[in-house]
Structure 1
Amino acid sequence: MDKSYKKNSLSLLGAVAMGTGVMIGAGIFALTGQIAELAGSAFVWVFVLAAIATGFSAYSYVKLANAFPSAGGIAMFLEKAYGRSAATATAGLLMAFSMVINESLVARTFGTYTAQLFGWSDHAFIVPVLGVGLIILAFAINLSGNRYVSFFSVFLALVKVVGIAALAFAGFWAAQSLTPHEMPAPAGVTSVSFLAALALGVLAFKGFTTITNSGSEIVNPHRNVGRAIIWSIVICVIVYVFVALAVGSSLPIDMIVAAKDFALAEAARPTFGDTGRIVTILLAMLATASGLVASVFAVSRMLGMLTDMQLIPHSHFGMPGRIQTHMLVYTVALAAVLTVLFDLSRIAALGAMLYLVMDLAVHFGVLRHLRKRVGANRVILVAAIAFDLIILLGLTVLKLERDPAIVGIATLVIAAVFLFESFYLRPRRNKNPSEQSTGHDHQ
């Protein structure tokens, strides 16, 4: 194991900040407008139902984390369920890819809000340039080590949660209402589009999984990993619902949809004028920055675990140093490419599809292979699987109608990863990772 994995280097507070940092980093700022476009005036309920679905989903992760806390936790969970197989490696990589996609979502959200602040929104190249700049900053902070990542995450998580909550309550006070504007639903809002909105809502909560990927680094992991997951979800549920209500009471649906990628900033304008808009943009910049730092930290640990488990190949490409550093480089490079190539809507849809497929693999693995070992309830597991299947089906049907290319890309990624892993693992399947010579520098 890479010596960069240091036991007891993350506190419970740091782990909670990591989870909330990733979730609030893009979930509420980037996805509110997209969810309103798909769900219409019922968009507030999307966050409520997504929280319920996330609660069922988190059940498996809490049970697994309490039983098997480790760095790169999801990869270890999958191996416990499916062994050293292509299914394990594929699901693990899908999780990693969905996290990297989320990083590009966060980066473009940062670019979108920052461009609004300086009046650069008319220049199409500015958003990806600013996003890539944030990715480079997150890379530099992660190179400084766990202690700085934890401090950065805790500090900014506190600032943004307090700031966003204060803004939402001030909006309620000024509007003197918690009731969203009653407006006709945007054209194209159907039960299928509502399910697709729910998929984006689930994506807004998926940041809790980053906590499992640092399990062995968290103080008292058998107890605190599960607690950190629960607390991070609870905090985000409260923030998301209050912010959604505040946005709905400030702007009619058509204006939320028109603003879309920067809906929260526009929602502050009617009540607080340009000052409120600027404050919201600054909060968005802080939120996305901390979210990206936390996400890069977690995904690099997960890829490191997959490498140590000999489930994916690795090359130094002439780089010095540890596996951890190499994985940071690969993570931010891929995130930067995605930030340049895809817009927010496509990034969100692709990330949601890959995440839901991986999530199904986790729940089915627990139900089929680990239920008794971890003490999980069959009914809750079946409900989690049902939620994922229905939501994934709704998103897929909608995208087949409106953007079939993204469904093709998701399908191609899943098939390519599975075929590659089947070929790569064939001569290694019956070997123990410790018996294989990798030539990696873990010093």
Structure 2
Amino acid sequence: MSKTTKNQSSLSRTLSLRVAISIGVGIMVGAGIFVFPGIASGQAGPAAMLSFLLAGSIAFIVALCTAELATAMPESGGGYYFVSRTFGPFWGMLIGIGQWLGLVFASAFYLYGFGSYLLDLLKEIGYQPGDPIILIGLATALLLTFINIMGTKSAGRLQNNVVLILTGILTLLFIYGVLQAFGIIGETSLPAPFAPMGYSPVFGVSALIFTSYLGFVQIATVGGEIINPQRNLPRALVASVLIVLCLYLLALFVTNSVLPVNQLKELGETAIVEVARSLIGDIGALIVLFAGLLATFSSANASILSSSRTIFALSKDRLVPEWVSDIHERFGTPHRALFLVGLPIVGILFIGKLEVLAEVASLLHLVIYGLICACVLKLRKKRPVWYVPGFKTPGYPVIPAVGMLAGFGLIFFMKPLSLMLGGSVLLVSALYYLAYAKGKTLTDPSPPHIEPQLRQPRILLPIALPLEKPIPLAILRNFTDLEVLLLGYKELKEQTSPEQFEEEDDGESQKELDKVKKELEDESFDVITELVFTRDVSQAIDNVILEYDCQALLVVKPIEELSRLLIPVYDINQLSKRYATVIYELTKASNLPASLMFIESDESSEDSENENTKDTSAMKSKAIKRLKQAGVQRNKIETSALKVSSISEAVEEKSESDDLVILVEANAKERENFINRIREKISNKIECPLLVVLEEREREEDTEREDSPAEDVEDVEEDKENNAS
């Protein structure tokens, strides 16, 4: 591998769950919790709490949709990556540039606020430094850019510590205010009346304050660097929204308990400082100013980190020059992408008036949020082979549809100037795409739980010539991008040599094989053919599997309609990722139910019964997890336990004519014997077709690495939760 290629490799996974949550909370708490309580309460009174609850509910829906997309595509780029892989590079470019510039404007706004808070804090303690807000913001921007270049882990540690201190300060202050409002400390002062201006301002205020919830999707922007994304991404997204929603509701409740609506309207963005002063005196004002410093600092740091990953993702897709995605050899960070974030921030700081630009950032993010929900709707319907999310949005399709409409709907409450500027950013992005990136293609995502070679699975279909049974097209039609290896064979008697029979056959078998090939090609399948004359069919099948690296073997049986998957499970080692992917291909369009049969030997002694029960429980939890990864809904998974002497006996007892029996090869080294058992003891006893998922030769060596005991324990706990629900 060349040095250049190495520099453009994926970023390391170094961000923990705690750091991922702190990135989302750090951006969302930001300046919003210090600026909006006074402004919102001045417009709607205590009913502004409903505005924050409404905006938070929309954010929560988008967080659920983002969690689904992020577990299917845990890559850097977040909203840009999701939209580009769902709707194509053109829409990806619009969202990518919008996400990058939106975060650049937001970072500049936060840094300007940081300078303002620092000056106010200095003035509060009696020092008059003049008015160098821009210089303070500029120096802080350069400092944060340098910290992020030094390493993602260092930047994440800084972010985590700052957010912990900030949320701790705010929580203590607001809890003290709640205790005072309920009369536990001092006199009771509950906010009343609740809606002095009526309920009509609630929706307008929701649009105004929605900028407070712009940070959670940026967790997905650094998804390529989060440890164990299948578990940590959904938790971080949902937890960050809920934490911030609780903080905002506490802030609104305390603000309206301490000061009347008229005074809040007059104070506006400085109201929270006066609220703290009223609660605990001048020390309260100092605490809030200090917390404001931390909030704007953490928001700027998280925005710089996330924005650089958007540029990094655009560069890896060659929609902007490839040199942008180079990774620093020493620090392992995208240093050039970080410079393309830090330098524009420095320039924008000199504009000074950034309120309108902050609203433009909100507008661009609302477009992203609406499209994120649209991605879930489209991908669930289309179900491409790579889309196997570890988390699914509940209430589909209603919840994603509501999120999409709400996200786009709030845009119409924006100011006309903001709409013009946001539209200009999207227009410039479109023109750039047409001039530079038109015609570029994007690679499909590579989720860690889907094997890359199964993007176009190759199924071996052995048929005895002349063909006596019809090809099971009802099964093959469930696959997309399928390659069929059609093996036509003539099983010879012991005394007949292959050479002698081939001469006597005079091409008749080849004509039969070509006829079947044409039937499959008419169904738009890619078909490879092999013709063999052999005394040992199992060995011939084994040889072809190895030569062509087949992923599955389909035993022909006539079938008109496929209605159920029947899956005997007898060995935990057979429950591989390949098994999940092949089943995903079968169920993605038809959403077939699956019946799992857990097989125990009926010859087990009493001493081994408890051990067998434990093994069955482990197999059950793991099998259900694999089926859920394959897209089978939990309520469509049926389980049963059988005590029989053989698999063939179990299959014969439970199978029906419109089933598809799925066996999984547990030991590839003994494949020939396995195929013999299928042909002699299983296939002849059932009326339905049979699909065998084939494992790689090195499967036994990889079993422990792929499925650790810790994962098995997690699977069991997850299954307990599923059963309880």
Q: Provide the secondary structure at the position in 2 that maps to 1:179.
A: coil
Structure 1: give runs of 5+ residues left out of the alignment.
Answer: 434-443
Taking the TM superposition and a 5 Å limit, the aligned residue runs for 1:25-424 are 25-83=30-88, 85-119=89-123, 126-175=132-181, 176=183, 177=188, 179-180=190-191, 182=193, 191=200, 194-313=202-321, 324-343=334-353, 345-371=355-381, 373=383, 374=389, 376=393, 377-395=396-414, 399-400=415-416, 405-424=417-436
Q: 2-side partners of 1:150 and 1:81: how far apart? A: 30
Structure 2 CA distance, aligned partners of 1:258 and 1:2?
Answer: 54
Moved more, 59-68 or 115-124: 115-124
CA shift, 1:220, in A, is: 0.7
Cα–Cα, structure 1 residues 190 and 346, in superposed 2: closer, same or farther, change >3 Å?
farther
Query: Who is 1:440 aligned against?
Result: none
More divergent stretch after superposition (122-131 vs 50-59)? 122-131
Deviations 1:51-105 (A, max 9, x none): 111111112101101111012232221122012x211111122122222222122
C-alpha change, 1:34 and 1:327, in structure 2 (3 Å) is farther
Structure of higher CA gyration radius: 2
Paired residues of 2:151 and 2:333 also in contact (CA < 8 A): no
> Does the 8 A contact of 1:71 with 1:305 survive in 2?
yes
| Matching residue's letter, 1:99 | L
TM-score with structure 2 setting the length: 0.54
- The one-letter code sitting in structure 2 at the alignment partner of 1:413 is V
Looking at structure 2, the residues matched to 208 and 36 of structure 1 have their Cα atoms a distance apart, in angstroms, of: 24
8 Å CA contact 2:32–2:211 kept in 1: the answer is: yes
Give aligned-pair identity as a percent: 24
The answer to whether the Cα contact below 8 Å between 2:55 and 2:206 also exists between their aligned partners in 1 is yes
1:4, distance to aligned residue in structure 2 (A): 7.9
Q: 1:51 to 1:160 in 2, by over 3 A?
A: same
Partners of 1:354 and 1:43 in 2: CA distance: 24
Residues 218 and 224, structure 1, Cα contact 8 Å, conserved in 2: yes
Q: CA deviation at 1:146?
A: 1.5
Q: CA deviation at 1:415?
A: 1.4
Query: Counterpart amino acid of 2:357?
Result: I
Tell me how far apart the structure 2 counterparts of residues 264 and 137 of structure 1 sit (CA, whole Å): 28
Q: 1:165·1:243 contact (CA, 8 Å) conserved in 2?
A: no
Which one-letter code corresponds to 1:244 in the other structure? L
Distance in 2, Cα, partners of 1:413 & 1:205: 21
* Equivalent-residue separation in structure 2 for 1:41 and 1:14 (angstroms): 33
| Cα distance change on mapping 1:370 and 1:311 into 2, 3 Å | farther
Tell me, yes or no, if the aligned pair for 1:200 and 1:352 is still in contact at 8 Å. no
Q: Deviations over 1:181-223 (max 9, x none)?
A: 549968xx994x6434212433211211111011121111111
| 1:34–1:345 CA contact under 8 A, matched in 2 | no
Q: What per-residue deviation string (whole Å, max 9, x for no partner) do you get for residues 344-372 of structure 1?
A: 53233212111111222222233234456
Bigger mean CA offset, 3-12 vs 375-384:
3-12
User: Shift in Å at residue 125 of structure 1?
Assistant: 5.2
RMSD (CA atoms): 3.0
State how far apart, in whole Å, the 2-side matches of 1:389 and 1:304 are. Answer: 27
Q: CA–CA distance in 1 between the matches of 2:418 and 2:128? A: 26
CA distance in 2, matches of 1:339, 1:305: 25
Residue identity in the other structure for 2:164: L
Task: Report if the CA contact (8 A) 2:41-2:256 is conserved.
Answer: no
Corresponding residue for residue 17 of structure 2: 12
Does the C-alpha gap of structure 1 residues 351 and 432 become closer, same or farther in structure 2, counting only changes over 3 Å? Answer: closer
Q: 1:425 aligns with which of 420, 431, 437?
A: 437
Q: Match of 1:103, SS?
A: helix
Instruction: Sort the Cα spacing of 1:314 and 1:139 in 2 relative to 1 into closer, same or farther, 3 A.
Output: same
The answer to whether the Cα contact below 8 Å between 1:213 and 1:298 also exists between their aligned partners in 2 is yes
Q: Find the aligned partners of 2:133 and 2:312 in 1 and give their Cα distance.
A: 30
Contact 1:371 / 1:378 at 8 angstroms: preserved in 2? no
Letter in 2 for 1:391: L
Instruction: Name the amino acid aligned to 1:406.
Output: S
Query: Normalising by structure 1, what TM-score?
Result: 0.85
Matched pairs, number: 419
| 1:277 positional shift | 0.1
Aligned mates of 2:76, 2:206 — CA distance in 1: 30
Change (3 A) 1:9 1:184: closer
Indicate how the Cα distance of structure 1 residues 123 and 337 shifts in structure 2: closer, same or farther if over 3 A, else same: farther
Structure 1 position 18, deviation (Å): 1.3
| 1:104–1:338 contact (8 Å) kept in structure 2 | yes
C-alpha deviation, 1:30, in angstroms: 3.3
Partner of 1:439: none
What is the CA–CA distance in structure 1 between the aligned matches of 2:224 and 2:428, rounded to whole Å? 31
Residue 423 of structure 1 and its aligned partner are, at CA, apart by 2.5
Q: CA deviation at 1:115?
A: 2.2
Residue identity opposite 2:111 in structure 1: A
CA 1:98–1:34: 2 relative to 1, 3 Å: farther
Change (3 A) 1:46 1:431: closer
Contact 1:215–1:221 (Cα < 8 Å) also in 2: yes
Aligned equivalents of 1:311 and 1:370: distance in 2? 27
CA contact (8 A) 1:69 1:212 kept: yes
Closer/same/farther in 2, CA of residues 263 and 100 from structure 1, 3 Å limit = farther
